Structure 1
Amino acid sequence: MAADRRVAEGLEHLKEAEKCMKTSFFKWKADYDGAASAYTKAGTCFKSAKSYDQARQAFLKAAECNVQNNVMFHAGKAYEQAGMMCKELNDLNRAAQLIEKAGHLYREHGVPDTAASTFDRVAKLLEPTNPQKAVDYYLIGSDITECEDRPRQAADFQKKAAKLLVRMGNYDRAVEVLKVEKKFQIEGENAPEVSRVTVELVLCHLARGDFVAADKAYKDAYGIPGFTESDHCRELAELLDAYDENDQDRLSSVAARPMFKFMDNDYAKLARGLQAPGGGEGGKKKKAALLDEGIEEGMEKGQLENQEVGGEDEDEFEGGLC
């Protein structure tokens, strides 16, 4: 079988690597370069044969040899490959540790682009099982790209982190992350994205029950080109007004509009779940007051009509029946 042939080929590469590592009276230092190459080839063969545990071990040995040889970029690549083999073995925590190690090696040895994309991958890997750790990795990626003066990329990492925090219900930290994203979006002169972040900030503040902060986030956006003429501005104004008036029915109605409905799913869900303070009784009281006012007006109108009718009757029979 093809898999068996690839395993056998991998075992031959392991033997070659072991020879490179041996020392003798005439060979005082191990051939780390040759060993790293042979271990990498062995790992690739085992990976092809889907013998993931053997591949993991081979890639780890390749990484160690590259570290000894002070070839850190290739050491990072080998650690990353070992991490991916751990993923195939469903050992996600170990996979994350190894890929993180690769990311740090890339960053420390002058390849920040590769480092940032590595932290992005490991964050995505952990999103379903350890979202808090994934947030940390996204923020590391943001820090790397910020140092490289790429604000739009840095903002994208912050955006991913904030979305996860909202999913976890950690609105306080989400607000802080969104503020940093907004700063990067402004630096990147990305007005549409600044408007989007403003909506997300307002939603998070309202979810925290902080109307004052939500209103301030909304008004701070007035300086964004095109914001005051946008749907974002109009819909947020109505949302804040409904919240301020404690009108749950109106709040839910505004939150169900297309602008909120077609946001990223985590924020759309957040908008749908907003609760007006005071149990949303403000709208009901207002309606009741209007109803009472209408009844009172009706009663007053009826009384006036009765008086007019009574006056006409009195005039008709004022001179008696004769």
Structure 2
Amino acid sequence: MTTVGDGLVQKKVSEAQEHIRQAEKSMKTGFLKWRPDFDVAADEYQKAATCYRVAKQLGQAKDYLLKASDCYKENRSLFHAARCYEQIILLLKEQNKTVEMVDFAHRACQLYQQQGSPEAGAGALEKTAKMVESKDPAAAINVLQHAVEVLMIEESSSRQAAEHLSKISRLQIRIERYGEAADTIRLEIGIHQENANGAAIGRLTVALVLVQLVREDSVAAEKAFKEWGNYCDVQEAVTLETLLQAYDDEDWEGVQRALQSPFIKHMDVDYARLANAIPLPEGIKNMPKGATKPTVVSNAQQAYTSPPPEEIEKVKAATIAAGNWPAAGVSNADSKDPPPPFPAHVDDEDEEGLC
């Protein structure tokens, strides 16, 4: 018994086969037809691929989209060839083939660039990145970095490149590539400096400081604040200054208060999560609440502790027995031992130092 679904599949497969026959017919040459009709063939192959897609025969659909793309390339219609690759990416998404999706995204972008449409190529990369970021953030980062490279060639596309960099840094933070995230944020700051976008630089300065603190590099965090802190508004500057000072003082409660500020909590989700990832300052995190930080004096000597009376008496008795203890009533003046020698010469400078 044939169901309605089976009947639809058979109908679409039959339609696809008819389109394929028409495409192959247009590809034939003869005495009066010296060159294949690539446009007609490409159109028929695309129609066949659509029928196979409706019939859920995705492998066949991909094959005929590739044939259509090849026909467009033969006719130098690179824009339409790239569009075929974008349709293949959608087919691969249904099959969860992330690696192939990324590969076809790069190939589509290359065709768009050859056609003179870099913005379309970057758009194809961006759409692919959105499809794969939840399952493979690293692959999404790779695709978006290619999009940034394409857009940076066009001076008019720097704002769009900055948006892609922002997305890249958040993905890098999500997978804990903090060093790469810091580099990406600095690149984005550079673009905003060229476009005189001070407000965006201020927000990115906060993000960069948080990233550096997560990396436990407080020196780099302070350097970032000193370099770009003048772009921060009052709330951003006060928050960062308080945070860095508390971190430098190993004041964990002060660090917590700064990180719990409404300004940081209402940042982008990936940046706001950094507040919970920042490690505690060493040496203060295990102190009881309310305890004061101990004062440490460098090169300090241990305090003198007098020996017990028993030890003193033993030393005294041993000294008397050896004849080295002065007898009672004998002063140092009566002693036969010569007095300690006085320095034969004292410089004038030393005399002045003694006064």
Q: Give the TM-score, by structure 1 length.
A: 0.82
CA distance in 2, matches of 1:190, 1:284: 45
Q: Comparing 275-284 with 122-131, which one deviates more in the overlay? A: 275-284
Q: Give the C-alpha shift of residue 199 in structure 1.
A: 0.7
Q: 1:182 aligns with which of 175, 185, 189?
A: 189
Change over 3 Å in CA distance of 1:7–1:189 after alignment to 2:
farther
- Residue 286 of structure 1, CA deviation: 8.0
Asked if the contact 1:36–1:63 (Cα under 8 Å) also holds between the matched residues in 2, the reply is yes
Cα distance 1:243–1:284, how it changes in 2: closer, same or farther (>3 A)?
farther
Which residue among 204, 207, 225 is the counterpart of 1:218?
225
Structure with the higher helix share, 1 or 2: 1
1:284 is displaced (CA, Å) by 5.7
Identity between Structure 1 and Structure 2 (%): 34
SS at the partner of 1:169?
coil
Shift of 1:256: 2.1
Post-superposition shift, 1:212? 1.4
Q: Distance in 2 between matches of 1:186 and 1:286?
A: 44
Q: Give the aligned partner of residue 64 of structure 1.
A: 70
Shift of 1:92: 2.0
Question: Pick from 269, 275, 290: which aligns with 2:273?
Answer: 269
Map 1:21-40; keep pairs closer than 5 Å.
21-24=27-30, 27-40=33-46
Q: How many angstroms does 1:249 deviate by? A: 2.9
Structure-2 change in CA distance of 1:222 and 1:199 (3 Å): closer
SS at match of 1:63: helix
Q: Aligned partners of 1:156 and 1:72: how far apart in 2?
A: 27
CA deviation vs aligned residue, 1:103-160 (integer Å, no higher than 9, x gap):
1110222011111111111222221333223212212212222221122111111111
Specify the code of the residue in structure 1 equivalent to 2:48: A
Give 3-state SS (helix, strand or coil) of 1:288's partner: coil
Alpha carbons 2:22, 2:41 under 8 Å: kept? yes
Query: Structure 1 residue 76 and structure 2 residue 82: aligned?
Result: yes
Question: What amino acid is aligned across from residue 32 of structure 1 in structure 2?
Answer: F
Amino acid at match of 2:236: H
Shift of 1:289: 5.2
Provide the residue aligned with 1:302 in structure 2.
none
Distance 1:107 1:129 in 2: 28
Equivalent position amino acid for 2:38 in 1: Y
CA distance in 2 between partners of 1:273 and 1:250 (Å):
16
Whichever residue aligns with residue 131 of structure 1, its letter is: P
Contact 1:242 1:250 in 2 (8 A): yes
Residue of structure 1 in register with 2:131 after alignment: 125
- CA-to-aligned-CA distance 1:218-271 (integer Å, 9 cap, x gap): 1222432xx242x11111111111211112233223212221212222211111
Structure 1 residue aligned with 2:245: 241
RMSD: 2.3
Taking the TM superposition and a 5 Å limit, the aligned residue runs for 1:79-118 are 79-118=85-124
Larger Rg: 2
Given that 1:248 and 1:279 are in contact with CA atoms closer than 8 Å, whether structure 2 keeps it comes out as no
2:236 is matched with which residue? 232
Contact in 1 for aligned 2:122/2:147 (Cα 8 Å): yes
Aligned letter for 1:277?
A: P
State the distance in 1 between where 2:293 and 2:66 align. 74
Gaps of 5+ in 1: 291-322
Contact 1:247-1:284 at 8 Å conserved across structures: no
- Give the AA of the match of 1:199: V
Alpha-carbon distance, 1:82 to partner = 1.3
Corresponding residue number in structure 1 for 2:206: 199
C-alpha deviation, 1:12, in angstroms: 1.4
**Contact 1:246–1:283 at 8 Å: present in 2 too?**
no
Larger RCO of the pair (alpha carbons < 8 Å, separation 6+): 1
- Give the residue type in structure 1 aligned to 2:278: L
The aligned counterpart of 2:17 is 11
Q: Structure 1: how far apart are the matches of 2:281 and 2:293?
A: 19
Q: Hey, what does 2:322 align to over in structure 1?
A: none
Residues 18-70 of structure 1, C-alpha deviation per residue, up to 9 Å, x if partnerless? 21223456545432222111111222333344442222122111011111222
Q: Secondary structure at the match of 2:223?
A: helix
Assess, with a 3 A threshold, how the Cα gap between structure 1 residues 96 and 132 changes in structure 2: closer, same or farther: same
Number of the residue aligned with 1:140: 146
Q: Is the 8 A contact 1:53 1:89 kept in 2?
A: no
Tell me which of 141, 163, 166 is aligned to 1:159.
166
Show the counterpart of 1:256. Answer: 260
